[in-house]
Amino acid sequence: MLNYIWMGLILISVIFGAINGKMAEVGQAAIDYAKTGVDIALGLIGVMALWIGVMRIAEKAGLVTAISKIIHPIMKKLFPSIPGDSPALGSIVVNLSANMLGLNNAATPLGLKAMEELNKLNGMKERASNAMCMFLALNTSSVQLIPATSIAILVAAGATSPTDIVITSLLATICSTITAIIVVKIFESFSSEKTAGEPA
């Protein structure tokens, strides 16, 4: 699917670039954004090292598995394929918590860590598991308690009560999270999957 979306975006860009006489800008954007991609990734190295380092200490001390066990009764409906003693649930909870608190820098490394744990349980290595799809759905629609960036922009523009949007964001995000869970569950019911241990 991403193949078509990617091709579609580029094709639309070139067609509209031609119509709007913006071919030079489109070409320049391709070059600039290629550089931006590397800048972002290199900028992530530091925080990535920090959080994966801290998480490694937590893992070795058994903390991630402990969180998994505590959260398992609540999460097993969403992630039926993850066993209670896997550190995957713990990693997911840590990532979602970072998202909720608006700790964007910490969220990406912790999320990638969670994906790594989920991939260990994945029976088909290049195909997304149900648990991965559910995790990403929760992640991309995640409940944010503190929409820090939005508030910062409103504050900078001199809004009289910038924190008004906390409650509206929370309500909206609850709607989108519920939608995400329902949609993923519906999709899941239409397709089967193999888990680790079974022959792929």
Residue 121's CB is within 10 A of a number of other CB atoms, namely: 18
Site for other proteins in 31-90 (CB under 8 A): 32-34, 36-38, 40-42, 44-45, 47-58, 60-61, 63
Q: Does 101 bind other proteins (CB under 8 A)?
A: yes
d(CA 102, CA 35): 26
CB of 162 vs other proteins, minimal distance in Å: 7
For CA atoms 180, 185, 186, 190, the dihedral sign is positive
Question: Please, what is the angle between helix 165-190 and helix 148-156, to 10°?
Answer: 150
Three-class SS of residue 122?
A: strand
- Show Cβ contacts of residue 164 under 8 Å, excluding neighbours closer than 6 positions: none
- Using CB under 8 A, which of the segments 74-82, 83-91, 96-104 binds other proteins? 96-104
Q: Does 192 bind other proteins (CB under 8 A)?
A: no
Encoded amino acid at 178, one letter: I
Q: Does 189 bind other proteins (CB under 8 A)?
A: no
Q: Does 177 bind other proteins (CB under 8 A)?
A: yes
* Interface with other proteins (CB under 8 A), residue from 176, 194, 195, 196: 176
> Do residues 112 and 69 touch, judged by C-beta distance below 8 A?
no
- Using CB under 8 A, which of the segments 74-82, 84-92, 153-161 binds other proteins? 153-161
- When the beta carbons of 74 and 127 are compared against other proteins, the nearer one is 127
Size of the site for other proteins (CB under 8 A): 107
- Show Cβ contacts of residue 171 under 8 Å, excluding neighbours closer than 6 positions: none
- When the beta carbons of 77 and 157 are compared against other proteins, the nearer one is 157
84: left (phi over 0), alpha (psi -120 to 50) or beta: alpha
- Using CB under 8 A, which of the segments 2-10, 71-79, 84-92 binds other proteins? 2-10
Residue 195 β-bridge partners: 122
Site for other proteins in 109-128 (CB under 8 A): 109, 111-112, 115-116, 118-119, 125-128
Q: Does 145 bind other proteins (CB under 8 A)?
A: yes
CB of 74 vs other proteins, minimal distance in Å: 20
